[in-house]
Each structure stands twice: as C-alpha cells, then as structure tokens.
Structure 1
Amino acid sequence: MIEVNRVQSDQELNEVYSIRKKVFVDEQGVSEEEEYDEHEQSAAHVLATYNGQPAGAGRVRLLDNVAKLERICVLPEYRKFGVGAAVTTALEVEGKRLGAQKAKLHGQTQAAPFYTKLGYETVSDIFHEAGIPHVVMTKKL
C-alpha cells in the first residue's frame, strides 16, 4: 500500500533527503551542492511509503501562483508500483492547497512520457539541469 504525506518532522525530512541522495546523487550523478539548495526550508516536502517503507519523495513551492513540483523521485526497488504518480498527485494537492491553479515541473526527458500520462504537457525545448536533459511541463490543476 502506498501512503504519501506532507513531511511534519525532522526524521521524515531526513528520509526525504536520503531518498533524494540515493536517486539523484548516487544513481544519476548530480552533485550534492546542486541537489540541496536554498529552497529546502521554504518548500513543502512529501514522503511516500510503500508497505511502510520509505519509497519516494518530492517537494512543491508556490511561484507566481503556480505550483512548482520539484525533486520527484522513487527508489529503484519501488518503481512500477505507482509511487511516482502518488507523489506527483500529492504535490498537486499541496499546490492547490497553497492556492495554485496550475502546476509546472522540469521533467527529465526520460520521464516526460510518465508525466504526460498524468496530464502534463511539454511547453519547452530540451535544456540541461545538472547535466541531465529536461523539459518544462505544465498542467491545469
């Protein structure tokens, strides 16, 4: 069973950081300096569990009344169970709670088909962040 909740404690936030380190730093080669930034404290973070085990994470910030979904990731052993979709949906709900009517994200090009299935539309050319090709994607909430 998948559960996704807004992070409420330092322990939960540490779980989020651990998942992000495993996925973005260890697996994808993003530097820790790029992965952890000045928005960590102001963003709303979510933690996904699968059968009680930490499995995925993400964060959302409100920018000009748009929910900017960021750092969406799922540990390799929990991919294909719907954790990524659950994290994305939880971030959208949080964005709406913050007053957003639209969501946007910088999706890795390899993940763009996943976000398209969730209703996102690509609105940019390919660009690079942390050496990884991305596109801007948006969705009306």
Structure 2
Amino acid sequence: MPDAVAQVASFAVDIVDFEAARAGLHAVREQVFIVEQGVPADIERDALDPLCRHVLARDAEGRPIGAGRLTPDHRIGRMAVLAQWRSRGVGEAMLQALVEEACRLGWHEVSLHAQVSALAFYSRHGFIPYGPRFSEAGIDHQSMRRRLDAATPVEGREAAQAALQGVIAGARRQLLIYSRELDPGLLDQSDAVSALRRFATGGGEVRVLLQDPATPQRALAPLLGLGQRLTTAFAFRAIEEPVDRDYPSAYAVNDRGGWYFRALGHRFEGECRMDDPARARQLHAIFDPVWERARPCSEYRALGI
C-alpha cells in the first residue's frame, strides 16, 4: 500500500511504488509534457523511472492529477500537474512530499532542473538557482538546489532574489530586514516588491533597519512607495549608534525559521535556509536591540511613511 504523506482539501499526495502506479504517473506526465509542451515521448520516458521514488497526487475520486519523482542522483524531476488543478496547492504538496522523502532517506541535498517559467515556484520553497541556463527538450531550464541539513549557498543576483523570495513566502506574521540602503538589485525588483505587497496586505508586518536611509529616498526606491500605501504594515528605522553602524552584514529573517544572510551587506553572496529556527532566533536577537536604539525615519514622513 502507498504511504500517504499529505492530505490537502480535495486531493491526496502519496509516495507510490512505480510499478503499481505506472499508469497514473504516465497519464499525468503524458498530458503535461508530451501533449501540452511537445516533449518527445522517447525523452519523457526513460530508464530511470523504475529506480526512482515517485509521488502521485489524486483527486477525491482517486484519479491521478499530479506526478513527480526523486532520481538516484538526488534530483527532483518530472513535476507535472494537470491544467485544471494548477494553482490549487497540488504542486506545493508534491514538492513538500518529495523533500520530506529525501530527508527520510538521509540525503544532504536535492537539486532539480526547473523550467524557467517555474523559477518563482521553486524559489518560494527554498530552491536556489546556480550555473547558467540551458535548453532541455527544447525548453529553457535552470539548475536549482536546496540543502536539507545545512544552509544553501547563494551566489549572485538571481540566487539572491530567489533566496529573498523564499524568506518572504515563508513568513507568517513578521519579516525583519537589515539593509544598508534597501539593496538595489534586490529589494527594488518587481518580484520582491510584489511578494512584500502580498505579505503586507495579508496582515504581515515588515520592519526595515537601514544604515543609509537617504540613498533609497533619493532613488525613489519602490519599497518606500509601497510603505506609503501600506503604512500600518511597514516600519522603517535608521541606525545611528556607531557600534551598530559598523555592522558589515545584511539579512532578511522571517518568523518561521527562514533566513537569508550576507556577511558583507553590499554583496549578494551569502547563504540561506528556510527551516532553521535556531539561526532565525539568533538573527532576531541581533535585530531587536538595534531596532530599539534606532530612530524612526522621519525624513520619510513627507512620503506618508
């Protein structure tokens, strides 16, 4: 019998035996990859299938609606959800099931080849891009990875943007940001601003500590405009104490154990993890006393912040 690992609303997600579930797995993958995306059948079907751990999502009547797998080389692949079931949490549940299975197997890391159109989806779940983009079956892809027992390295702007997306998406009620000058190339990107808007309008609180509040004001940073419209959700404070201003790092940390830390705040390179409450508590402990000593950004009052 398959071992159930998730139950959400009107569908269930299970880790399944390949031979027993072959028909359902292939039915979903054929519809998504071969029919919709035009992937050749001889590429979609491969010799790895019998060697993989598979996940199958079924609707309330037991009909297959989603599929995915873990390969022997610790890669998540063949993630597919039928069109009528997308944006209903099926992909998230399957991905979580595969990550949990990888943890159960004692793996240290999982990777995947994400279609470029799905980068934001995987970023929200702690996967970080690395290396150049490439074409696979005629579709643009990006390698991504997530460490399961340690922080995932963040290298470069695209990886930094993915790490920030993961931290924001994982926040429940509060998000803390320690920044030099609202991080051009990171906090001013449309994806980040949109994610922060969704979090704030959903009842979240965002606290931002700045070492240099004047620079983002001169640059008309988009986050300041967002704070103007959502004054109860955003609070900005300026760091003035010399001992605090000497702090070289930057970070974002949420209230569910997710964080992205950069030892040098003017660079994108760092590390992140979405399930590390101990380190998140340490960053909260660094942030909170500085917040208390910092002054409200009165120069933003003209903006209504």
TM (norm. structure 1) is 0.92
Corresponding residue of 1:86: 93
* 2:112 equivalent to 1:105: yes
Gaps of 5+ in 1: none
In 1, distance between residues paired with 2:43 and 2:58?
A: 25
Alignment of 1:1-141 (within 5 A): 1-8=10-17, 10-52=19-61, 53-63=63-73, 67-141=74-148
SS of residue paired to 1:91:
helix
- After superposition, the C-alpha distances for 1:93-133 in whole angstroms (9 at most, x for unaligned) are 12122221211000000001110011111112110100000
In 1, distance between residues paired with 2:80 and 2:18?
A: 19
- After superposition, the C-alpha distances for 1:11-65 in whole angstroms (9 at most, x for unaligned) are 52210000000000000000000000110110111101233332100010232xx
SS of residue paired to 1:6:
strand
What is the number of equivalent residue pairs in this alignment? 138
- After superposition, the C-alpha distances for 1:40-92 in whole angstroms (9 at most, x for unaligned) are 110111101233332100010232xxx21010010000001010011111111
Call closer, same or farther: CA 1:2–1:127 in 2, change over 3 Å: same
Gaps of 5+ in 2: 1-9, 149-305
SS of residue paired to 2:71:
strand
Identity %: 36
In 2, distance between residues paired with 1:99 and 1:37?
A: 25
SS of residue paired to 1:3:
strand
> Which structure has more RCO (C-alpha within 8 Å, separation ≥ 6)?
1
Answer whether contact 1:2 1:86 (CA < 8 A) is retained.
Answer: no
Answer whether contact 1:44 1:59 (CA < 8 A) is retained.
Answer: yes
TM (norm. structure 2) is 0.44
SS of residue paired to 1:100:
coil
Partner AA of 1:46 in structure 2 = V
* Structure with the larger strand share: 1
RMSD after superposition: 1.3
1:3, CA displacement in angstroms? 1.3
Call closer, same or farther: CA 1:119–1:9 in 2, change over 3 Å: closer
Larger radius of gyration between Structure 1 and Structure 2: 2
